[in-house]
Amino acid sequence: MQSSSEATTWQNFRRLFNYTRGLRLGLFFAIIGMLGYAAVDTLVFSQLQPLIDEGLTDTNPNVMKYAPIFVICAFLIRGASHFVATYCLAWMGNHVVMRLRQQLFEHIVAMPVPFHDKESTGNLISKITYDTQQLLNAVSKALLTLIREGAFVIGLIALMFYNSWQLSSIFLLIIPIIAAIVVFVSKRFREVSKRIQGMMGKVTSATEQTFNGHKVVLSFGGQKRESERFSKINNQNRQQLMKMVATKSSSVPIIQIIASFGLAFVLYISSLDDVVGDLSPGAFTTVLTAMVMMLRPLKLLTTVNSEFQKGMAACASVFHVLDQDIEEDTGTIDIEHARGEIEFKNVSFNYQGSENLALKQLSFKVAPGKSLALVGRSGSGKSTISSLLLRFYIASKGTVCIDGKDIRDYKLSQLRQQFAYVSQQVVLFNDTIANNIAYGKPDATREQIEEAARCAHVLEFVKNLPDGLDTEIGENGSMLSGGQRQRLAIARALLCDAPILILDEATSALDTESERHIQDALSYLQKNRTCIVIAHRLSTIESSDAIAVMEQGELLELGTHTELLAKDGAYAQLHNFQFGES
């Protein structure tokens, strides 16, 4: 399939049109309404000739008698047509955008971790909000104007030719020139629209980054720097918007000036008796009025072209994301409840865009129900091991096994259900405490949630909250302390009851009392589970069944706390450094 960046405007529009399936009855009525609106306008102007030639000259008195009734009926039909067209098109357009926005959201959520590593969150949010809104304008407002005003122009041209094909032919000589301008302007609109969408992504990203790091900005006095950075991006966005305005505001008068030249030439030709011939005053007035009235729809068609091109540029942007492959799941083996055996066989891995290996020929094995602690400096590869286990990334070389089978052979969703993950960076949702605990098991009963909360020492602070477990905790648990958020994460892991537990710096940066509660909860959580514990503080992992010392992606030492101290190697040096021993 041709990529969205290479596709033409027409190809992207056809692809967008596929999203109207099941909605085309609404589109049909919208088109009927638009054509009815244009037909009524054309019909009104077509009655100028009998009104002047017959009504005003008293040749046919019935013309003036029925004219008021005709006007009222015509505008009633016109108003009804306008309502039907506008409502039905908006109904269809909002459904199309809702479908596309939903698909885009689900697709982004299903994208692999490396995609999210390189894409800014602000840019993705901009695609879901701003780009899809441009699509709505293309589907509703632009399509409404294109069909309605286009039909009106065709109706006026037909009316002109019906009354005088000679004068109409002269006026239509300007159409190729107008068409060439519209084609040129359309390309310009689309190019500028792409740049505007890119800048909107940067605006959203800069805003989100500053607001999320608001405390850091205040702490380090970064308000001025952030203001200057945002001002630069904001100004670049303004410049692109002004280019769009300049193109739009220059194209409209140019087309109208060209049309006025055609109109002036028609007026000059009309002064020649042998050209006009026996053309009646009513017919001449009808032709002239149709030419003048054509200037407004030509202006609207040129103006709305910018909206349409912005919508098509947004189409290309959205389809570019949708065309990227989601996370691949090649697994075929079902795994309901793993025994918990973990094995790395000569595993090497490097992150996308980096030539340096994060893991080098790593091999180790953890028996079911046992614990392995990973220690080492930052960047030694400890967190990479947990990411490979969860299949956020795929090993470049070697094999990662669970219960003796390559994890790539397991069905992905079932594989991840075998893990409970607790890290220092706890992610909570703007919801109740109960719903956050039950996030990994939404069908859990109230009793199960309360039991998990009790075991994780959550009930100790929940009893002081106004609504207990039903208390809303704000964005990412902003109403809770670090220790309380950590206990919520442990309760969530407990409720999942997964056979393998990953603890990634779960007790770092906590006060002594909080750490005591967390350690009690973790001790309960680790029972009868295979545990991978990533820690900097050696006091928290001395009782582990095995300790692996990592350095620059390599396994330096492996053994129990006592064995490694006896070796007097890398682990002993770390231990002596932390506990101040000579």
Q: Give the pairing type, strands 546-551 and 554-559.
A: antiparallel
Name the residue with higher pLDDT: 60 or 418.
Answer: 418
If DSSP codes are grouped into helix, strand and coil, which group holds residue 88?
helix
Least Cα distance to 203 among 122, 134, 117 occurs for: 122
- In our burial notation (b when 16+ CB lie closer than 10 A, e otherwise), range 219-256 reads eeeeeeebeeebeebbebbeebeebbeebbeebbeebb
Contacts 24+ apart (CB under 8 A), 104-110: 104/128, 104/132, 104/318, 104/321, 104/322, 107/321, 107/322, 107/326, 108/321, 110/326, 110/327
Residues with Cβ within 8 Å of residue 347, at least 6 apart in sequence:
359, 361, 362, 363, 388, 395, 397, 398, 399, 400
User: Does a structural domain hold residue 1?
Assistant: no
Residues with Cβ within 8 Å of residue 310, at least 6 apart in sequence:
134, 137, 138, 189, 190, 193, 196, 244
> Do 420 and 308 share a domain, yes or no?
no
What is the per-residue pLDDT for 282? 74
DSSP per-residue letters across 14-27: HHHHGGGTT-HHHH
User: Does a structural domain hold residue 329?
Assistant: no
Spacing of C-alpha 310 from chain mean position: 16
Task: Name the one residue in this structure whose structure tokens are 């308000």.
Answer: 223
User: Does a structural domain hold residue 331?
Assistant: no
> Do 356 and 286 share a domain, yes or no?
no
Residue that finishes a domain, picked among 256, 289, 322: 322
pLDDT at residue 216 tops 50: yes
What is the per-residue pLDDT for 509? 46
Name the residue with higher pLDDT: 52 or 90.
Answer: 90
pTM value is: 0.74
User: Does a structural domain hold residue 260?
Assistant: yes
181 token code pair: 């301008």
pLDDT band at 218 (very low <50, low <70, confident <90, very high): low
User: Does a structural domain hold residue 333?
Assistant: no
- What are the pLDDT digits (tens) for 250-303? 776 777 777 777 777 777 776 665 655 566 777 777 877 887 787 778 777 766
Q: In what order do the strands lie in the sheet with 530-534?
A: 419-423, 500-504, 530-534, 371-376, 546-551, 554-559
pLDDT at residue 546 tops 80: yes
Backbone angles phi, psi at 345, to 5 degrees: -115, 100
pLDDT at residue 366 tops 60: yes
Owning domain of residue 505: 342-579
pLDDT at residue 131 tops 50: yes
pLDDT at residue 350 tops 50: yes
> Do 270 and 351 share a domain, yes or no?
no
Count of CB atoms within 10 A of residue 505's CB? 18
> Do 301 and 378 share a domain, yes or no?
no
> Do 503 and 541 share a domain, yes or no?
yes
Name the residue with higher pLDDT: 112 or 247.
Answer: 112
- What are the pLDDT digits (tens) for 394-410? 998 999 999 999 999 99
pLDDT at residue 177 tops 50: yes
**CATH at 89:** 1.20.1560.10
Counted domains in the chain: 2
pLDDT band at 235 (very low <50, low <70, confident <90, very high): confident
Least confidently predicted of 113-117, 257-261, 554-558: 257-261
413 token code pair: 């969703």
> Do 190 and 151 share a domain, yes or no?
yes
User: Does a structural domain hold residue 334?
Assistant: no
User: Does a structural domain hold residue 235?
Assistant: yes
> Do 408 and 301 share a domain, yes or no?
no
C-alpha–C-alpha distance, residues 156 and 291, integer Å: 8
What is the per-residue pLDDT for 1? 46
Task: Name the one residue in this structure whose structure tokens are 């999320």.
Answer: 212
Count of CB atoms within 10 A of residue 108's CB? 20
Residues with Cβ within 8 Å of residue 287, at least 6 apart in sequence:
159, 160, 163, 164, 167, 168, 266, 279
What is the per-residue pLDDT for 582? 41
- What is the 8-class DSSP label of residue 477? G
> Do 428 and 485 share a domain, yes or no?
yes
> Do 254 and 401 share a domain, yes or no?
no
CB 295 within 8 A of CB 378: no
Residue that finishes a domain, picked among 322, 357, 385: 322
- What are the pLDDT digits (tens) for 236-252? 888 887 887 777 777 76
Residues with Cβ within 8 Å of residue 335, at least 6 apart in sequence:
402, 403, 410, 411, 414, 415, 418
Name the residue with higher pLDDT: 273 or 111.
Answer: 111
> Do 431 and 553 share a domain, yes or no?
yes
Residues for the chain: how many in total?
582
> Do 377 and 408 share a domain, yes or no?
yes
> For residue 358, which amino acid is it?
A
C-alpha–C-alpha distance, residues 398 and 407, integer Å: 12
Q: What dihedral do alpha carbons 480, 483, 488, 494 form, nearest 10°?
A: 180
Average pLDDT in the chain: 81
pLDDT at residue 48 tops 90: no
User: Does a structural domain hold residue 2?
Assistant: no
**CATH at 404:** 3.40.50.300
> Do 359 and 260 share a domain, yes or no?
no
- What are the pLDDT digits (tens) for 453-500? 888 888 888 888 888 888 888 877 778 887 788 888 888 888 888 899
